[in-house]
Structure 1
C-alpha cells in the first residue's frame, strides 16, 4: 500500500474532528494538507443526538441532519464540504499503531500515514460489563451507545421487541437519557445503579430527588444501591433476565448499559506524558511532544479558572478544545492566541425536561425554585457556594437568557455574604 503524507492529521472522527476541520478551513488550510482518519463509516456528527432524537419513535433525527457543526448552531458539514475544502476524509479506517517518534500511523489494513502535526481526537470507549467478567454479559440485546452503529442496532431491537421490558444499567447521562427514550418507545423501563442517587458526579441529593420523582411519575422503576451481577439468556442467545446483587431478578427484552467511558489513549502509551487518565497538554492542547496535540475527552489540560489540571468529558469541551488547538497550530508570524480559559458546562434533555450546569460543583448547595416532580411546569435551580462565593450554578427549565445568567454567575463568582439565595433564586443570577 502506498504511504500517504499530510501536513496535518486528525486521528478520530468524532465531534472534535469536525470542529477542528471547520477551524482549519477558517484559518486557510490548503487543499491536500489535512486528513481526518476515522474508524467510523460516516463523516463527523453530533454524538449527543444518539441518546435522544435518534431513538425517537416518530420524527427521529437521521443523518445528514446532525453532522457537525449543527450542535452549536453552525453550518452542517456534509461529506462534500470536506471534498470542497480539499480535506481528505479517510473513513472506515482504524489506526492500530502510532509511532510518534517517526510521525507514522498504521491502520488495521496495513496502510501507513505520515504527518507533520498530529491532533489526537480519539475520544472515549464505553466501559463494558464483559470487561469485568460479569456472567452472561455477552448475551444478545445487551447494548452500549457510543457510535451510530450502536444506535442502529438498538433501533432494530426496539422494533423487534415492541412494548417489551427494558433494563437500563447506570444512572448517569446515558442512563437517564436512555431511560426516558425507552419509555417514549412504550417500553416497561427499570433503571439500576449502585449510587444513592442518579448523576452523583454532578447532582446534589436534592436535585437528584426531583429527577427520580419525575421518572417514577412517568412509570419508570428506579432501583438504587445495587448492581447487575449476571444475565440469563434464552436458547437463541437473547437476554432474558438481569440478576442483581441484592438478589432481585428483572425480566428484560433489551438491556442498555451506560456505566461510563475510558479515554482512548492506548495507542500513545509511553510516548506522551499522561496525567489523570488523559494525555497531558498545555493551554493550547500541545502535548509533551511539540508536534502532537490532544483534544476532547483524551486531554488533561490546565483549567485556568480553578488553577488545576482536569480532564473533561463533554461535547462542549470537545468542540472548543478542537478549535483552540487549531488556532494554536495555525498561529503564525508572531500572532499570539490566549490560553484556553474554559468554563465547565454540562447539559441534558429528557422527556420535557432540560437542564444546564456551569462552573464547579463543590462546596455547599442552595436549592431554589419549584422542584416538585408532580408540578406541570417545574423550574428550579441550585447554587454551589465555596469561600463565600458562587462557583457553580444549575438550572432546570430555564430560558436562553436565564441559562446565560447562570453561566455568567459561575464565571464571575460573585460574593454572597448576607444574600438570601433561596429567596432570591434566579433573580440573583439575572442581576449579575
Structure 2
C-alpha cells in the first residue's frame, strides 16, 4: 500500500507538540496538512503539572484543565481544538520506524505516512533504576513520573497510603517536587540521594541548606551521600524495603524515583547527526536530514548568547524552540529565513509555599544575598553568578512577577560588577538599577 502523504508531520504529543500546533495554526495551515502522532492517549498537555498540582490533595489539576497552551496564558487546546483546526491527532500512535531518505514514518500499528516536513518533539524519558541492574528494581510499588498514566498510578497509590511512608529516590527537580507533594498528602517521606545537598547542578550549599531545613520542618527525612543498592519484595512481588549503600534499610511499600531523564531519540537515532546526547540542529532547529527539525529536550542547538552549543531540558525551551522551528518551516516555504534562536536559559520550581526562578548561566563564582534569617515561606533571598567580571546568572526565591523580570534582564545584559560586596549589599536593588 502506498504511504499516505502529509505536508507536515509532528512526532510527539508533549508540550513542544502543543505549542508547535498552535504556531502552525497561527501562521496558516489547511485542513489535513498537519498530523500529530503521540504515543500517549491524550492531547498535548503542560507536563510540569504532573509533579505539582496533579498530585495535590485538594483541588488537583485534571484534564482538560491543563492542555496546552494554558501554561503560558494561551488558549486551551482540548481535542476539539485540533479537530476544529483541521489537524489530524493520532493518539496512542507511537512511531516505530522512520526513513529520512524516503521521508516516511511508520507507526507501531504498521501504518506508513510520507511527509513534506517533519518536526520531532519526542522529549525525554525517565532514567530507570533497572538500567543499572539494581536488584528488585522491577518490584511493584516503585513509581516513575513522566506521563499522565504514570501520574494516575501514583495518585492511586497515594490514596491507598494516606498516613503511611514513602521513599523518594533523588534530590533533583523531580525528587524535590514529588517529596513535597507526598508530604502534602499526609505521607511520611524519606528522601535518599548520593549528592551532598539538594539540586547540586544549580543550588549552592547555602541555598540548598535553606530548602533542606524547610523540608525537614515539614517532617521530611533527608538521607544524603548514599544510593539505593537494592529493593526487597514480598511474596506478591511488591516492594517492602529499600536497601541503602551505607548499610541502612528503609521499610516502605511506596517508592518514587526521580534520578533524571535522557532524551528520547526513538527510531530517529542513527538517522540524524548527534551531539551531546541530542540531535545536532542549527539556530532554526534544522537537523542534518533534509526537511527534518528537532526541538525541545532532544535538540542540541547553538546558544547564541554564550557562543556554545547545549541541550536544554525545560518546558520554557520546549515551548520556544517549537515556535522557532515552525516559523522556520513556514518561512522556508516562501524563500525567507527567521532570526537566530536567541534563548536565555530559564528554570523554576514550586513546592509547598516556596517558589524560585533562575535565569542565565550558573558558571563562575556565586554570591548569595538575603539568606541570613530566611527560614520560612515568605522569605526572599537570591544569588548571582559572576564570570569574567560579569553577572551571568541570577536566582530569586519568593520573587514577584516584576522582580523575576529584573532577574531576566540582568542575565540577558550580563552587567559588569566591581566586587562581590556590591552584589551582597545591593541584592535585588542591584538588578533594579540595570
- The reply to whether TM is greater than 0.5 is yes
Q: Report what 1:199 is aligned to.
A: 199
Q: SS of the counterpart of 2:232?
A: strand
User: Is structure 2 residue 365 aligned with structure 1 residue 387?
Assistant: no
Q: SS of the counterpart of 2:198?
A: coil
Quick check: 2:3–2:113 contact (8 Å CA) kept in 1? yes
Q: Report what 1:13 is aligned to.
A: 13
Distance 2:262 2:273 in 1: 17
Deviations 1:15-34 (A, max 9, x none): 00000000000000111100
Post-superposition offset of 1:370: 3.4
Deviations 1:102-156 (A, max 9, x none): 1111111111111111011011111101111100011111000000000000011
Deviations 1:47-72 (A, max 9, x none): 00000000111100000000000001
Q: SS of the counterpart of 1:370?
A: coil
Distance 1:185 1:4 in 2: 49
TM-score by length of 1: 0.98
Which range is displaced more, 347-356 or 410-419?
A: 410-419
Distance 1:253 1:306, change over 3 A: same
Post-superposition offset of 1:374: 2.8
Q: SS of the counterpart of 1:293?
A: strand
Q: SS of the counterpart of 2:240?
A: strand
Quick check: 1:273–1:280 contact (8 Å CA) kept in 2? yes
Quick check: 1:214–1:373 contact (8 Å CA) kept in 2? no
Q: Report what 2:427 is aligned to.
A: 425
Q: Report what 1:342 is aligned to.
A: 343
Deviations 1:313-362 (A, max 9, x none): 00000000000000000014344321000000000000000000000000
For residues 175-254 of structure 1, the aligned pairs below 5 Å read 175-254=175-254
For residues 365-404 of structure 1, the aligned pairs below 5 Å read 365-370=366-371, 372=373, 374-375=375-376, 377-404=378-405
Post-superposition offset of 1:271: 1.5
Distance 1:28 1:255, change over 3 A: same
Post-superposition offset of 1:171: 0.5
Post-superposition offset of 1:206: 1.2
Post-superposition offset of 1:253: 2.1
Q: Report what 1:282 is aligned to.
A: 282
Q: Report what 2:272 is aligned to.
A: 272
Structure 1 stretches (4+) deviating beyond 3 angstroms? 332-336, 370-373
| Structure 2 residues not aligned, in runs of 5+ | none
Q: Report what 1:71 is aligned to.
A: 71
Which range is displaced more, 349-358 or 231-240?
A: 231-240
Q: SS of the counterpart of 2:243?
A: strand
Q: Report what 2:102 is aligned to.
A: 102
| Structure 1 residues not aligned, in runs of 5+ | none
Distance 2:214 2:203 in 1: 15
Post-superposition offset of 1:372: 4.1
Which range is displaced more, 18-27 or 155-164?
A: 155-164
For residues 48-127 of structure 1, the aligned pairs below 5 Å read 48-127=48-127
Quick check: 1:10–1:119 contact (8 Å CA) kept in 2? yes
Q: SS of the counterpart of 1:301?
A: strand
Post-superposition offset of 1:217: 1.0
How many equivalent pairs are there? 432
Distance 2:224 2:376 in 1: 24
Q: SS of the counterpart of 2:31?
A: coil
Distance 1:93 1:242, change over 3 A: same
Post-superposition offset of 1:373: 5.3
Quick check: 2:93–2:107 contact (8 Å CA) kept in 1? yes
Quick check: 1:226–1:245 contact (8 Å CA) kept in 2? yes
Post-superposition offset of 1:219: 0.8
Q: Report what 1:414 is aligned to.
A: 415
Distance 2:175 2:326 in 1: 34
TM-score by length of 2: 0.98
Q: Report what 2:358 is aligned to.
A: 357
Post-superposition offset of 1:266: 3.6
